Amino acid sequence: MLQPNIIIIGSGIAGLSCALRIADHQPDWKIQIITKKTARTSNTRYAQGGIAAVMDTLNDTPEKHIQDTLLSGKGKCDENVVRYVVENAAACIHELIRYGVPFDRKPSGALSLGLEGGHSYPRILHVKDYTGFAIERVLLNQVKKRPNILMYTHIHAIELGVTNKQSDGVYALDTRNKSMVFLSSDAIVIATGGSGQVFEVTTNPTVSTGDGVAMACRAGAETKYMQYFQFHPTALYKSKGRQKFLISEAVRGYGAYLVNSRGERFMNRYDKRGELATRDIVSSAIFRELDMSGENSVFIDCRHLKYKEFSSQFPEIVATCLKYGYDVRKDLIPVVPAAHYQCGGISVDINGQTKIRGLYAIGECSYTGLHGTNRLASNSLLEALVFSATASEHILAHTKAQKHKKPDGLPHYHYISPISLTRYTLPLRRWMMESFRSLDDKERTQTYINRINEIEIQVRERFADGVFPALTELYNMLAVAHIILSEALNPKE
């Protein structure tokens, strides 16, 4: 009998955990994970802080987590979704523990729970300061044990095939063989992560180019709240390359201070929660301080913290700071806000399904209603887990095997050798950075949209000569930038 074939695009926490759930319930189904680089290349592995969940039920309550999430989202969260995610959190954490994720524990054996901005109680599960990396490693090992999950690396999805509002496959670049492929499927799960690479300064890896959002929109899905891009307040100012190294919020949760160039703690002037206000408030306070001082960065001050305990909790951060010449025992660490998390995304229902049948979106690329205008710290891995579970249940209940053919109307590209695209990417990222801080200025935002339109036209014309990965990524980044600015201009309720 013909068995359903599921394609999952992306190998971060959302894609891997969705694949595992489907594989375990239906060992005869074929689940293909496609990812544009290696299996390990994803945003998940850079999530330092952890996962928020109410595990200390003696002192914490789901209601407190719900209220913290609603407060952080500033009245724009969907309360039903917030309740659903928070109430399903503990079950997902237990599943991760069963898979083998080694969350830090106290000498008593109880989970060690950290504090982060906007949380009224310490509820962040972590594995030192490399939580995402540890989870990714465990999930990948689990995937390897399931013969019905096939991992295809270096397959770069570029268009979704949709016929009669039903998804039926993915058109992709095989970047090893330098060829085009069409992969048919009975359900598609987009789990491609975020789009921080649209901005000049970001904590996101180079793969975060918004491919899922752009492809889904071209296929007819909708987006919501894309204008709410979260800037993480504390990226290491001096990091090399396109991805800034993150100094986890958990460092401030642990007791580090933020100081300006005069050595003054300034956060209490902006919010009574001080350094542990929500990220939007801390980032905008830092931008204000920088505007006033004309300096390039503010600083994290860890000098008063007990080094032995601190370095055991944050080994990567301590080592990376040292690599850049900062000894946390005696130096102030220069930090700046950096584009970190796409709070909006592809609109999905409570099953993770878009308005196209058989097309799902989970994780950062999706908009579920959990985050509102500003995601609460460490709610993102949680959302990815809960929605991968709910989407997998829906897929298991509603997917039927069908015979597919390559849909009409998909473009026939050919693969060409890459050329430099910096003449487009540099201005795009600079404009997005400039426009982000003045999204309320409609005239200015429209000017940036017009500029992006002009580049989009030039880039689309290039497709006639052929495609290569960086070109399709640029095309997707332009589409995402366009959506971010257009939703700022005409907000959706």
Q: Is 40 a catalytic residue?
A: no
CB of 384 to ligand SIN, least distance (A): 11
Tokens matching residue 92 = 């997902």
Closer Cβ to ligand SIN, 227 or 380, answer by number: 380
In sign, the C-alpha dihedral spanning 265, 267, 269, 274 is negative
DSSP 168-206: EEEEEEETTTTEEEEEE-SEEEE-----GGGSSSBSS-T
424 alpha carbon, distance to own chain's centre: 24
Backbone angles phi, psi at 157, to 5 degrees: -60, 135
* 136 binds ligand SIN, rule: CB under 6 A: no
Residues 6+ apart with CB under 8 A from 49: 114, 116, 124, 126, 129, 131, 248, 249, 250, 377, 378
β-partners of residue 12 are: none
Element of type H or E holding 113: strand 113-114
Closer Cβ to ligand SIN, 208 or 425, answer by number: 208
Amino acid, single-letter form, for residue 41 = T
Per-residue binding letters, 327-366, with ligand SIN (x by CB under 6 A): --------------x-------------------------
CB of 233 to ligand SIN, least distance (A): 9
* 253 binds ligand SIN, rule: CB under 6 A: no
* 239 binds ligand SIN, rule: CB under 6 A: no
Tokens matching residue 355 = 């308005």
322 alpha carbon, distance to own chain's centre: 27
Q: How many CB atoms lie within 10 A of CB 426?
A: 11
Of 35, 204, 243, 248, the residue at the interface with ligand SIN (CB under 6 A) is 248
CB of 203 to ligand SIN, least distance (A): 8
CB of 471 to ligand SIN, least distance (A): 30
Of 82, 217, 250, 389, the residue at the interface with ligand SIN (CB under 6 A) is 250
Element of type H or E holding 473: helix 469-489
Of 69, 368, 380, 435, the residue at the interface with ligand SIN (CB under 6 A) is 380
Cα separation, 26 vs 398, in Å, equals 13
CB of 337 to ligand SIN, least distance (A): 12
Of 47, 160, 188, 485, the residue at the interface with ligand SIN (CB under 6 A) is 47
Q: Which of 21, 279, 375, 429 is catalytic?
A: 279
Strands 5-9 and 187-190 come out as: parallel
Segment near ligand SIN (CB under 6 A); pick from 66-74, 166-174, 241-249, 352-360: 241-249
Cα separation, 488 vs 226, in Å, equals 8
* 49 binds ligand SIN, rule: CB under 6 A: yes
Closer Cβ to ligand SIN, 26 or 380, answer by number: 380
Of 60, 249, 275, 456, the residue at the interface with ligand SIN (CB under 6 A) is 249
CB of 475 to ligand SIN, least distance (A): 27
CB of 50 to ligand SIN, least distance (A): 7
Segment near ligand SIN (CB under 6 A); pick from 42-50, 89-97, 393-401, 476-484: 42-50
Segment near ligand SIN (CB under 6 A); pick from 13-21, 76-84, 246-254, 321-329: 246-254
Residues 6+ apart with CB under 8 A from 56: 110, 111, 113, 121, 122, 123
Cα separation, 144 vs 151, in Å, equals 9
Segment near ligand SIN (CB under 6 A); pick from 78-86, 105-113, 245-253, 459-467: 245-253
Tokens matching residue 6 = 């599921």
Query: Which has the closest alpha carbon to 334: 283, 259, 266, 277?
Result: 259
Segment near ligand SIN (CB under 6 A); pick from 5-13, 26-34, 361-369, 376-384: 376-384
> Per CB under 6 A, which of residues 156..185 are in contact with ligand SIN?
none
* 377 binds ligand SIN, rule: CB under 6 A: yes
* 320 binds ligand SIN, rule: CB under 6 A: no
Closer Cβ to ligand SIN, 60 or 456, answer by number: 60
> Per CB under 6 A, which of residues 406..465 are in contact with ligand SIN?
none
Total residues in contact with ligand SIN, by rule CB under 6 A? 11
Q: Exposure pattern of 447-477 as b/e (b: 16+ CB <10 Å)? A: ebbebbeebbeebeebeeeebbbebbbbbbb
Residue nearest ligand SIN by beta-carbon distance = 49
Of 44, 48, 185, 342, the residue at the interface with ligand SIN (CB under 6 A) is 48
69 alpha carbon, distance to own chain's centre: 17
> Footprint of ligand SIN on this chain (CB under 6 A)?
47-49, 246, 248-250, 341, 377-378, 380
Catalytic positions are 279
